[in-house]
Amino acid sequence: MKTYIILAYPNPDGLCYAAYENVKKGLEARGDEVRVTDLYKEHFDPVLVFNKEKLRRNMQSDSEMKPYRDNITWADRLVFVFPIWWGGMPAILKGFIDKVITQGFAYTFKGLLPVGLLKGRTAWIITTHDTPPLFAALFRQDYGKILEKQVLAMCGIKTTRRFTMGGTKRSSPEKRKKWLNSIYDYSIKSGN
């Protein structure tokens, strides 16, 4: 299977980065071909520019975004790894979605209804957040679910796994190890 990982986390010593390393290691151990975009390491520019030369209606053919689109087209599965900050995904990931997953490439419209153009692909979403679990369940939006339902589903991509590590600040080393082992185990065993 061909897997494209999109990582949106800047600290190589953090839990989110360890989750990325475990998913990558597990996928490679099972024989997947893996490509990675580390948005922070690549200094991805999340800022949209629309002007006379860069029209919104032509975003699907923006040559700067072509390598990312090529990776999505190549992949059978996408894996998104990111923290929840201030109740949302990092701006760099939102910019990636805005600039890469565009109309004409990822979806179109038939009348008023969206039609996904990336059917046949699956996705995993791995997130971390510091919010205490009870507070998160009652008050926080789930940006893994928003990515799944409002972005990927519209593009025809079926999310098969969402893995959230919540309350990370107060989590024990044993709990973190259990989370990371679960990610690795799922990666090495799962077929989709």
Q: What does the pLDDT look like over 6-54, one tens digit per residue?
A: 999 999 999 999 999 999 999 999 999 999 999 999 999 998 887 777 7
pLDDT for 123 equals 96
Q: 180 near 16, Cβ under 8 Å?
A: no
pLDDT for 156 equals 96
Q: Return the structure tokens found at 164.
A: 């959230």
Query: What are the helix (H) ranges across the chain?
Result: 15-29, 66-74, 91-100, 133-139, 143-146, 173-189
Please tell me the pTM assigned to this model: 0.91
Instruction: Report the CATH number at residue 181.
Output: 3.40.50.360
Residue 112: which domain range?
2-189
pLDDT for 135 equals 55
Query: What's the structural domain count of the chain?
Result: 1
Closest CA to 89 of 22, 161, 16, 155: 16
Is residue 167 classed exposed, middle or buried when 0-12, 13-18 and 19+ CB atoms within 10 A define those classes?
middle
Residue 136's Cβ-side half-sphere holds a number of Cα atoms within 13 Å equal to 20
Could you say which residues of the chain have pLDDT below 70? 55-58, 131-144, 191
pLDDT for 120 equals 96
